Structure 1
Amino acid sequence: MTSSAPRHAVRRRRFSLPAVAGLSAGVLLAATLPAQFATAAPATVVSDSFARTVSSGWGSAAKGGSWTASLGAGASAAVASGEGRITGLKPGASARLALKQANSLDTGVRATIGLPAASATVYTAFEIRRQSDDSTYRGRVEISKTGLAVLAVSRLNKTIEVNLGRFTLPGTYAPGADIAAEFQVTGSAKVSIRARAYPSGAVAPGWQLSLTDSSSSRISGAGSLAFWEYASGSNTNAASTTLDNLSLTQNPATNANTPAPAPVPAPTPSPTTPPATPAQPVTPPVSTPVTSGDRGSATVGSTRYAVPAGAILVSPSGNDSANGNSNAPVRTLAAAVAKASNGATIVLRAGVYNESVTVPRSKTLTIQSYPGETVWLDGSKQVTDWNSSGSRWTTPWSYFPSSQIDGISDNPWFVNSAKPLAARPDQVFLDGTELTQVGSASAVTAGTFYPDAGSGQIVLGSNPAGHSVRISNQQQALVVQSPNTVLQGFGVRRYGTSYLQRGAVRLSNTGITARNLTVEDNAMIGINVESDNTTLDHLTVTGSGLLGIGANSAYGLKVQNSLVLDNNDQEFNAQPVAGGIKVTRSRGVDISNVDASDNVGNGIWLDESVYDATVVNSRSTDNTVDGILVELSDHVIVANNELNGNKIGVIVYNTANVQIYNNDIGGNRLFGVKLAQDERRQANTALTGHDRRRPVPDPTLTWITKNVTVSNNVFGSGGLFQIYALDGVTNIPVDNMNLVITGNLFNQRLTGAQSTLVGWGGGDNRTVTRYDSVQALAKAKGSRWNNVETTAVLPIASMIAAIKSALGVAVGIPDDVAAAIGVKSGTRGLGVFDD
């Protein structure tokens, strides 16, 4: 199996809204610069054109002192051909080159970053005001395998990283391209941060991010400079990047005029009949959606939950026959659970616990890490006993988990024929990088392994000498059978979970809370929920073989403030279940402030009788299939989400009563929004997908696509249709869906290559009428539908001016949608609200 390392994604900010929790932000639209920008004379602190040759490290800058290197496994640094190089950065590894002498407070940094020569996902950052405890501001340029680039800013307080802002750069970047990046950090009482990035050699645009950090955790003192890089664990090969033309200016000219972005043509209003009453002014939001970018688990080891009196303590150096107090901890979590009484708290001291533990129904417990200590439940063990035979190495082994799914080995319904070993949960990690499983001992080469159950051994193709080799030997970390149990503050990794066991963490009773957990590199499902009123809060779930988070029969489920990234790394078929999050047969579901991006399959999927659900204030981008899929469900709100770079942004399939409001939808390969219907009906009791806790058939669901409103969305360029609606098989024209499309900003279709605004299906299941302008749509389908379109083909990232000009077309947000996203009822706005 292959894994993906976690990363912290952040949101693009568009509007200047009132400050929340000390943090205010705006992108491009700020009319004036913050008053606290420095005015002292600029002075050059660092200048480095790398005009030297250094075989190891980066030597000394022309001005700014010597570089100090901290390199991940396999990486090296050198200076050659006029550039600083970082080469051989393995998947999941990071590197840092620091100028510790280059101290400054009000700082401007600019440089040219050279991207890897082959497609790779890498995250580069300038660490500005870097402190002795590693706290720093990070000005980041992130590049994906598809060439999509993102400009981002975050604040690292020791080990806790908080994401402050995000901007998706226009266009894409080819492998080996150069990106010019500039960052300014100024002020103390309030820290102002500005950033921009653009193709090297191009005219600099205006500032693309403009943020103010006035939180109590701001970094208000002078600090040093470093260049940091991380290679995604989803990469297949090591990555190499370059740095050139670096300068650091103290007291930069922050109030100087800077080039403005190219003007964006204003949208053309639809010439539909004006309303009988004068248009009201656009009402700005008076409250703020909870979308601050505060997503994902706190770094493992950074949480500080109080240790109550009478808690049972666990330590790898303890003794399971001890009493479990602070002076005599037990050694294993299993022993602590056995010793605990109902209502007890178990506190894990720092260490790695290779265990599989069940919390019985009779014991409601809190299981947490000790304050400030790093705790991992690790489903693998380190193996050092290897025998060599030519170019292969073997070790005796006895753990060979089942590949059966629904009773069928390597079930082809789930398993992609191009990845025939996906269902086999065996995992081997070399220096933290997951190796690829092959189908026979003879096929083993460097970077691969074979679990040979017949001979009872693992066959390895990479020389283990001098390396850490870990092999998964446990199926599950935790099975929680008790109600109201709390899990918090630790990590779960490398469990070889089979499909029968479902999740590395399996939550099987009501009222369970999991918060600040990092769940990574597990073979099947990261976390599986199987009962009501579960809360998943501030989780990071990544590198799961099949699915990040699964939930079934989970009434009252809340998934919030979480990162669910790079899952289904075994590339199972997208159907019947794979990707980021899938919820089935549940009611009262709330998914909010979640980033479910970069998954193989769907980002967020509601299926099989989900009723009364909200997916709001979230991000689901760059998934291989759909951003949000709503299927066989009813009463769903999809609002205030970023849904870019998927196959389809939002798909509504056999689902009624759906409200799609204030989303950014662009760059999707087929459709922005798709509505579809097939022959399935709730009335057919023989079909799968019924909620057996409800009457069958259920009168609250029909499984018929109907009563769908699409309003206040911003549609960027890309794809075939911005909205596409077609009844798939049942000879019912789309006119019967009661579809409402109003208050949206579309991309004008200037050429045949640009996506059609709306495709409207006829009753023959084949004929699709194209409406290539808002005027044509209104004339044919809804004279009261008032949409607008741009006068140029624009990606989402370039539509800020167009959005500002088109705000008058937005409709008032209804009560239930407004409550879900956190704004006042009746607020009018286009696309995602800023936070």
Structure 2
Amino acid sequence: MDRSRDSGWGTPNVGSPYTLNAANRFSISQGVGAMKILPGKNSYATSPLQEANVSARFDVSFDSLPQSGSVYAHLGLRHSGDSRYESSLRLTSSGKLTLEVSKTIAGKKTVIDSHLIASKATVGKAYRIEFEVTGAKAPTLKARAYAGDSVPQWQIEATQSGASVISTAGSLRIGGYLSAAASKSAGIHVDNLRAASASELDVAEAQPLELDLPLAEAKPLEADIPPTQETESPKPTPTPTPTPSPEQNLPAGALYVSPEGSSGAAGTLQSPLGSIGAAVAQADAGQSIVVRAGSYHESLKIPAGKKLHLSNYPGEKVWLDGSSTLNGFTSNSNGYSTAWKYDFDSSPTYTRGAEDNTQEAWGFVNDSYPMAAHPEQVWIDGVRQKQVKSLASVEPGSFHVDKAGNKLTLGTNPEGKRVQASTLVKALSIRADGSSVDGINVRKFAPSVPDMGAVTAEKPGITLKNLTVEDSATTGINVSAVNNQISNVSIQRSGMLGMNAVYADGLKVSKLNASSNNVEKFNSSPVSGGLKITRSRNIAVTDSVMKNNYGPGLWIDESVYNSMILNNDLISNTGHGLSLEISAKATVANNRIIDNGGNGIKLNNTNDVAIWNNTISGKNRVLNIVQDTRRGANKSDAGHDPRQSFPDSTMPWVIKNVTVKNNVLSNTGGGNAIVAVEDYSKQLTAEQMKITLDSNAYHRTGSTNPRWSSVWSNAAANPSVYTTLAAFQQAEGQDVSSFEVTASTVLNSDHQPTSAVTGKASSATVLPSSIASLIEENAGSKRLGAYSR
């Protein structure tokens, strides 16, 4: 900015003119741009970009600390209308400086992640923001901020997905915002703005731009350098759509919490409390608690009879963090040791103090992973360390806890690294009916197996939404009461299980993402994987993803009555994609169940099941319908719901009335059959089970891969096996409108059927209104497999 201007930012040497939302708030002096920011107002400049994949940067300094609230400096990419990706520096009244990455969709801002830059920032000091956005279907966002010449690694990296991603080039946006609570305006100064193309193909090799790189060498885009010249008769500037202030969406009468607050504060927006626990103690039943951005090392209980509504401040990232930083390591012959004062419960079952089950296939802990039930967790620079049983076994990447000697020993040298360890057991125990938690994220807590989870919803009518639970030692979330709702929740890297629910009648789970759980490698049975629901009635799991879990994706087990399993993706789990076991009445429709290690769907001792329009593919039995010796009338068989009278007439635990229509059943090589119906108790034929199959697309990779198309129960006699669908149709009169395809694949990379299937859609059964209304598709339509989404 080699010029001076009292109003506006003049004419750029290169690139398209900027549009300013208020030219009189912009100026240039001695080659540095200035921006005035009014309380509750955005000041910003935008300019179009020719490319979507962009690396951008600028230097910013803050003129002063805000008297209250926060002042922001923004660098936005792919800005269009009132949507964009943005990297921001947020400076609080205490001097805390935080880097935030956010997305704004139609004016609604969501903070994706944050990173502390300085506990006490220096006013007037230049901090550089670098921001890179690449990719279309799943954009990757990278950001960092720093002072001086030493360039750190990317401090925030995030990948976006789903229907709301921003994929077009849009404009660059540079600006600032000041909290409405501030009593006077603020100012920032900016310089060295650059925007350069970042080829999606070369992202991994992209290097940060150098400070002294001439603009012509930086491959400038249309929007590189400064904004428009304001002449004596400027053209009218389009009036931008105003972005609502977050304060406009705050609940009335709320208590406020901030890392900059104090225990004796009033709990107002201007005078917040310093801890969430203090707000819970002070709040009245029915009151809301709003939490400002930051990390809170707390274990919370919402007590019985005190319904509370706990939420993040709009657009700000809040973490309940169960970890502490470890210091004071000394080197010794075994590794690097420090004091350890925490004594976690390592009970391996849900009964505290009990030994593990010894019955075959019923023990929690696998002998190959003996430390699975020990809740201790350690990370070095964010990398999880493996716990070992003995001090002699310590090696780089592992750690050992000596409880008797109060010592923790690392195998990796911690010098110059950040060592974090879980030091709190639970994040949140919700014991008040009707409470809600919205936008409060949870990480690095250490619940043991009998603690049930890092977050436990223990009373009726609780809502959990818009939050992430990650790195819990055993289970992320547990629900143990009726009429709870889980919505837009992500659970990842739990030690044993993403989410568990029991006695949870009326449970509604929507937009759950349970991924990469059971990192401690507990046995798949009795419990592991993404989501397990037991002893509950009238439950729904919809629009969710269970992916890359060690164990089943979704497991419905032990007297669950009336399940709705709709519009989900159950992908690449090591166990079954979907398991329905000793339960009754279920609708499984419009799911994609792909590449799981076990069966696609395993239906075990469950009656009255409708399986419609699913795409199921994997290297095992695609649909495995199995009856065993367990019966609902046998009290000694485990899994009864003690709340129901015995015998429970709704729970015979006998396969009966199973309808399978309009599914793509793709076996990509293994498991000996595409579809199998068997009775291990040798009592029932498939006809007696009342199995109905029709209008399905069978797929195999070769005439003998898998060996059989179908397996069909003959009660006490060996089941019939059919090498082709045609032979099955002729012998059993089943699947008369179905067809079989022999090819390498019948699905594309998005798990959608290829023309080998879609070309025969006329063979599908028209979608009945009872199913159409559940999956929000048109009744009477004809499709094979899951509908597009």
| TM-score (normalizing by structure 1) | 0.66
Gaps of 5+ in 1: 1-100, 109-127, 138-153, 162-182, 186-192, 196-210, 231-239, 252-301
Indicate how the Cα distance of structure 1 residues 304 and 586 shifts in structure 2: closer, same or farther if over 3 A, else same: farther
Distance across 2 between alignment mates of 1:385 and 1:754: 59
Q: Which amino acid aligns with 1:772?
A: T
Indicate how the Cα distance of structure 1 residues 368 and 212 shifts in structure 2: closer, same or farther if over 3 A, else same: closer
Indicate how the Cα distance of structure 1 residues 243 and 681 shifts in structure 2: closer, same or farther if over 3 A, else same: farther
The answer to whether residue 251 in structure 2 is matched with residue 308 in structure 1 is: yes
Look up the match of 1:822: 776
The answer to whether residue 54 in structure 2 is matched with residue 104 in structure 1 is: no
Deviations 1:422-455 (A, max 9, x none): 0000011111221100111221111111111010
Q: Which amino acid aligns with 2:579?
A: L
Residues 378 and 419, structure 2, Cα contact 8 Å, conserved in 1: yes
Q: Report the Cα offset of residue 773 of structure 1.
A: 2.9
Residues 639 and 817, structure 1, Cα contact 8 Å, conserved in 2: yes
Q: Which amino acid aligns with 1:335?
A: A
Gaps of 5+ in 2: 1-46, 55-75, 87-101, 113-133, 140-160, 173-194, 208-218, 223-244
Distance across 1 between alignment mates of 2:400 and 2:322: 18
The answer to whether residue 645 in structure 2 is matched with residue 695 in structure 1 is: yes
Q: Report the Cα offset of residue 750 of structure 1.
A: 4.1
Q: Report the Cα offset of residue 582 of structure 1.
A: 0.2
Deviations 1:177-202 (A, max 9, x none): xxxxxx997xxxxxxx899xxxxxxx
Q: Report the Cα offset of residue 687 of structure 1.
A: 2.3
Query: Which one of the candidate residues 759, 769, 785 is aligned to 2:720?
Result: 769
The answer to whether residue 389 in structure 2 is matched with residue 408 in structure 1 is: no
Look up the match of 1:534: 484
Query: Which one of the candidate residues 448, 469, 478 is aligned to 2:398?
Result: 448
Q: Secondary structure at the match of 1:596?
A: strand
Deviations 1:663-708 (A, max 9, x none): 1111x22210000011111111232211122222111121001111
Look up the match of 2:92: none
Indicate how the Cα distance of structure 1 residues 750 and 315 shifts in structure 2: closer, same or farther if over 3 A, else same: closer
Deviations 1:726-751 (A, max 9, x none): 11123322221111110111125742
Residues 488 and 512, structure 2, Cα contact 8 Å, conserved in 1: yes
Superposed, 1:241-260 pairs within 5 Å as none
Query: Which one of the candidate residues 708, 724, 734 is aligned to 2:676?
Result: 724
Q: Which moved more, 1:753-762 or 1:575-584?
A: 753-762
Q: Which amino acid aligns with 1:634?
A: A
Q: Which moved more, 1:546-555 or 1:696-705?
A: 696-705
Q: Percent sequence identity over matched residues?
A: 34
Q: Report the Cα offset of residue 318 of structure 1.
A: 2.2
Look up the match of 1:782: 733
Q: Which amino acid aligns with 1:360?
A: P
Indicate how the Cα distance of structure 1 residues 754 and 304 shifts in structure 2: closer, same or farther if over 3 A, else same: farther
Look up the match of 2:561: 611
Number of paired residues? 595
Deviations 1:117-144 (A, max 9, x none): xxxxxxxxxxx9756999569xxxxxxx
Indicate how the Cα distance of structure 1 residues 131 and 502 shifts in structure 2: closer, same or farther if over 3 A, else same: same
Distance across 2 between alignment mates of 1:528 and 1:213: 29
Residues 487 and 514, structure 1, Cα contact 8 Å, conserved in 2: yes
Q: Secondary structure at the match of 2:726?
A: helix
Residues 305 and 368, structure 1, Cα contact 8 Å, conserved in 2: no
Distance across 1 between alignment mates of 2:366 and 2:428: 29
Distance across 2 between alignment mates of 1:585 and 1:216: 42
Look up the match of 2:611: 660
Look up the match of 1:321: 264
Q: Which amino acid aligns with 1:357?
A: L
Q: Secondary structure at the match of 2:392?
A: helix
Q: Secondary structure at the match of 1:408?
A: coil
Q: Report the Cα offset of residue 409 of structure 1.
A: 4.6
Distance across 2 between alignment mates of 1:336 and 1:518: 22
Q: Secondary structure at the match of 1:777?
A: helix
Distance across 2 between alignment mates of 1:392 and 1:228: 43
Q: Which amino acid aligns with 1:560?
A: S
Q: Which amino acid aligns with 1:687?
A: D
Q: Report the Cα offset of residue 319 of structure 1.
A: 2.2
Q: Which moved more, 1:582-591 or 1:218-227?
A: 218-227
Look up the match of 2:294: 351
The answer to whether residue 694 in structure 2 is matched with residue 742 in structure 1 is: yes
Q: Which amino acid aligns with 1:571?
A: K
Q: Secondary structure at the match of 1:500?
A: helix
Distance across 1 between alignment mates of 2:534 and 2:471: 24
Q: Secondary structure at the match of 2:758?
A: helix
RMSD: 3.6
Deviations 1:571-616 (A, max 9, x none): 1111111100000011111100000011011000000111111111
Q: Which amino acid aligns with 2:592?
A: E
Q: Secondary structure at the match of 2:772?
A: helix
Q: Secondary structure at the match of 2:571?
A: coil
Distance across 1 between alignment mates of 2:417 and 2:634: 58
Distance across 1 between alignment mates of 2:589 and 2:556: 15
Q: Report the Cα offset of residue 250 of structure 1.
A: 11
Q: Report the Cα offset of residue 559 of structure 1.
A: 0.7
Q: Which moved more, 1:414-423 or 1:752-761?
A: 752-761
Look up the match of 1:756: 708
Distance across 1 between alignment mates of 2:52 and 2:368: 53
The answer to whether residue 743 in structure 2 is matched with residue 797 in structure 1 is: no
Residues 130 and 224, structure 1, Cα contact 8 Å, conserved in 2: no
Deviations 1:744-766 (A, max 9, x none): 1112574213453211132236x
Query: Which one of the candidate residues 308, 313, 324 is aligned to 1:381?
Result: 324
Look up the match of 2:599: 648
Query: Which one of the candidate residues 525, 528, 549 is aligned to 1:578?
Result: 528
Q: Report the Cα offset of residue 249 of structure 1.
A: 14
Q: Which amino acid aligns with 2:762?
A: G
Q: Secondary structure at the match of 1:803?
A: helix
Residues 632 and 655, structure 1, Cα contact 8 Å, conserved in 2: yes
Residues 605 and 655, structure 2, Cα contact 8 Å, conserved in 1: yes
Look up the match of 2:116: none
Deviations 1:136-181 (A, max 9, x none): 69xxxxxxxxxxxxxxxx99968678xxxxxxxxxxxxxxxxxxxx
| TM-score (normalizing by structure 2) | 0.70
Distance across 1 between alignment mates of 2:622 and 2:687: 19
Distance across 2 between alignment mates of 1:616 and 1:660: 10
Indicate how the Cα distance of structure 1 residues 817 and 134 shifts in structure 2: closer, same or farther if over 3 A, else same: closer
Distance across 1 between alignment mates of 2:261 and 2:496: 36
Q: Secondary structure at the match of 2:728?
A: helix
Indicate how the Cα distance of structure 1 residues 671 and 368 shifts in structure 2: closer, same or farther if over 3 A, else same: same
Query: Which one of the candidate residues 563, 566, 571 is aligned to 1:621?
Result: 571
Residues 105 and 221, structure 1, Cα contact 8 Å, conserved in 2: no
Query: Which one of the candidate residues 361, 376, 380 is aligned to 2:304?
Result: 361
Indicate how the Cα distance of structure 1 residues 105 and 218 shifts in structure 2: closer, same or farther if over 3 A, else same: closer
Distance across 2 between alignment mates of 1:184 and 1:521: 28
Higher RCO (Cα < 8 Å, 6 or more apart): 1
The answer to whether residue 321 in structure 2 is matched with residue 370 in structure 1 is: no
Residues 590 and 614, structure 2, Cα contact 8 Å, conserved in 1: yes
Distance across 2 between alignment mates of 1:194 and 1:364: 39
Distance across 1 between alignment mates of 2:200 and 2:392: 40
The answer to whether residue 788 in structure 2 is matched with residue 834 in structure 1 is: yes
Residues 630 and 653, structure 1, Cα contact 8 Å, conserved in 2: yes
